Amino acid sequence: MDVIKIAAIKPPVGGRSKWARDLIMSALEIGLPYEPVPMHQAERFTVAFAPQIAAKLQALAVEHKIAPADLCAGLICAAQRSESEPPKPFVLEPSVGARESLSRVRAILHPLVAGIEKAIASKGIAFAEASTGSGKGMLVAMLGLESAAAGKSTVIAAPLQTLWQILDDLRKFEELSHVRSCLVLGRNNFVSQIRLREWAEEENHSDLLQWIEAGGEPLSEKAKKAEQDFGVKLNWMYEDAKSLADELPEGMMLSPGDDEGDMSEAVYQRLRTEAKDSDLVLCSHHFLAAHIQQCIIHQGKLGEIKEDEDDPTAFGVLPIPIELLVVDEAHMLEAAFAAVYTSTLHLHQLVIDIEHSKAIGKKRAIASLQPLSDSVRKIALSKASGRGSTIGPANTFSGLDERIQEAMVGLNTLSVPAKDPILRSKVRYAVRTLNAALNGFSTIKLEVSPVRLYPAITSGRSSLESIFKYLWEHVGAAALVSATLYTNGVDGGLSRWKLSVPKERAVFLPAVIPEWVTKPVKLRSDRVSIPPDDSAAWFDESAEKIKSIADGAEGGLLVLCTSYLAVTEIGARLRESLGERLIVQDRSTGAKRCADQHKDLYFRGIKPVWLATGAAWTGMNLTDDRDGSLATDDRMLSDLVLTRLPIGIARSLTHERRKSLQGFSAVVTEAVFQMRQGIGRAVRREGVPDRNLWIFDLRLDGKEGWATTFRNALKPYTRVKGK
């Protein structure tokens, strides 16, 4: 950002920098002429602008042969005069480059582009739903590049795996290559090189040690591309270390307070520095959430900052304010913000970690944790709780406050050796979680695991309304893009509620769902004869049907389950009959690694059967993307099975609050979202052969009103009777 001394007639007492910048930007965007003003009445102060805008103001001042302060005062006056006129639409005509960039976006999305631009012009927040495979990434890239090229502070936020694709899409806009783009990552995207080396040497992990000795170079092809094309170093990425050591323990991520000599910290800080000199900043949802958290923490200090301070982004790498925010995979944004304000402590595992350590005072620490574990288990299993969990403020549970305080005393007296940084990190996390449970602002959730009844305590915010309110107050306009924003392709009320978007700023655009996305999907009517109850009989019949589908499948089969228990039980029943075709996801392997196994089997001519859960519902792309691969021959996924409707799998504190306010309808609406995301795995490119969709859940055919909501969401798909 460049700081310029400007002037204005009667500026407001507070927030004058933002007030002046908005009016000047409005005047430049609309093309208003400079109006001379009586400068003896003007007040002078400084304002920070993006480098392109600062350069433009300097050039205009030279052209008019006046001082930049006089020019800015005249532009502010001109903008104020035009405020009563209807806002002019944000259009693509200003330059040849803009028209060229629109041509790179698929024509089917052009109406969506027009709607988003209209919303941007009125400082609205656009909800833009478009099917997976429709070209959303190019739309997101174009919006970001054109906004940055116009001198607006612009941020694109998306999950990390999506950011790699957006970076690739940015490179395709040659006419906007002058826009400086930068990717920023959070500390949790990196490993601590020091702690990782200690663990790898202790475990004698040769692959990891070799990677460390080579400098932690990126292993992902997408990360390598980003390094080459954007000139950024992406060493010591957590996902690379995880790909080499799937059993990588917690505590390996880079964290605040780590040794400044840690090479990972140097990479992290370098990205932050480069972002401050960039026109367009790309970050993850979690990074955006952490940025807003830090701004709120320092908002008292922000209010005291002198408005002529050189660095208006002193508390974060992202601009304040963000003039245009583009969010891809926007349906996942609330979860990222919730994660920043929520922490979960698994008490049984913590006790085991302390017991197996060489920490001094571990007997006392374990003794202090036992009463808390017993209390959590007792409350979670009480009749009043139901289904092994309950939520509320800590002081609503008799005796829990005292048990938490006792546990904190025991943990604070624990002396962990410096050579055990992993346990030190876990203990700090535990103390922070327990302290948050007692701070008076948190809601806590007490629960036990479904089989072994291990206790866990979650503390955090059940409402993010004030957090998102702060975000939207500091965002000029926004585009929220996703394949799943509307309950049934029309109603976006839940998405607006989740993200606390002000009703007066929300703009719901018609969803873009091309026929080629829905037409190949054939909805089968075959069901399991009993409702899903996790009984042995239900697992038996589900496994039989999956075996039958696998026998007749033309390609790969993805089976989406709602729990690891279901994956394990069904997998045990299919292991012998399916042999090497079977992929059973568990907590240690994860969805990404299973997806790689699925693709590897398919490329070897084997029809894979992947029993999946978790992230497989939302983020996996099972497409044959090899060079020369034809869509018409793509059978990497010929059949998709939903073992049950995903009712009740949303368990966040924010969801629990919505459920308390809206009842079961909130559960149903959330489950429809999840179902639509799961079905989105079926078709990821135009022209693929037919895909069979199997939903085993007998409740789908029920007469209950909520079942109709699911059936309505399935209307776009062709029904096929029988097996």
Task: Concatenate the DSSP letters of all residues of 488-500 into one string.
Answer: SSS--HHHHHHHT
> What's the full length of the chain, in residues?
723
Asked if CATH classification 3.40.50.300 holds for the domain at 91-180+278-341+461-513, the reply, yes or no, is yes
What's the distance, Cα to Cα, between the start and end of the chain in Å? 63
Q: Any idea what DSSP says for residue 397?
A: S
Greater model confidence, 361 or 230 = 361
Question: What residue type is assigned to position 117 of the chain?
Answer: E
Question: How many CA atoms lie less than 13 Å away from 487 in the CB half-sphere?
Answer: 20
Predicted confidence (pLDDT) at residue 248 exceeds the cutoff of 90: no
Predicted confidence (pLDDT) at residue 311 exceeds the cutoff of 60: no
Predicted confidence (pLDDT) at residue 404 exceeds the cutoff of 60: yes
Report the percentage of the chain scoring pLDDT > 70.
91
- Cα 322 to Cα 18, 39, 432, 602, distances in angstroms: 11, 30, 31, 44
Q: Model confidence at 347, in pLDDT bands (50, 70, 90)?
A: very high
Q: Which is nearest to 60 in space by CA: 90, 39, 31, 91?
A: 31
pLDDT value at residue 232: 76
β-bridge partners, 129: 482
When mean pLDDT is compared over 34-43, 172-181, 320-329, 386-395, the highest value belongs to: 320-329
Question: What residue type is assigned to position 11 of the chain?
Answer: P
- Cα 566 to Cα 452, 537, 540, 574, 696, distances in angstroms: 15, 12, 11, 12, 13
| 628-647 pLDDT, tens digit each | 899 999 999 999 999 999 99
Average pLDDT in the 452-480 region?
Answer: 93
Q: Model confidence at 89, in pLDDT bands (50, 70, 90)?
A: very low
508: Cβ contacts below 8 Å, ≥ 6 apart:
127, 486, 492
In a 10 Å sphere around its CB, with 0-12 CB exposed, 13-18 middle and 19+ buried, how is residue 587 labelled? Answer: exposed
CATH of 515-720, one of 3.30.565.10, 3.30.930.10, 3.40.50.300, 2.160.10.10: 3.40.50.300
Average pLDDT in the 468-480 region?
Answer: 96
| 575-607 pLDDT, tens digit each | 999 999 999 998 767 787 899 899 999 999 999
d(Cα 275, Cα 614) in Å, to the nearest integer?
33
641: Cβ contacts below 8 Å, ≥ 6 apart:
546, 549, 557, 558, 559, 560, 694, 695, 696
CA 155 to chain centre: 14
Two tokens, residue 715: 């209307």
Predicted confidence (pLDDT) at residue 93 exceeds the cutoff of 60: no
**What are the structural domain ranges in the chain?**
2-82, 91-180+278-341+461-513, 186-224+233-269, 343-460, 515-720
Contact 392, 443 (CB under 8 A): yes
Dihedral of CA atoms 73, 77, 78, 81 in degrees, nearest 10, equals 170
Asked if the domains at 91-180+278-341+461-513 and 515-720 fall in one CATH topology, the answer is: yes
pLDDT value at residue 209: 92
Q: Which is nearest to 371 in space by CA: 361, 379, 360, 359?
A: 379
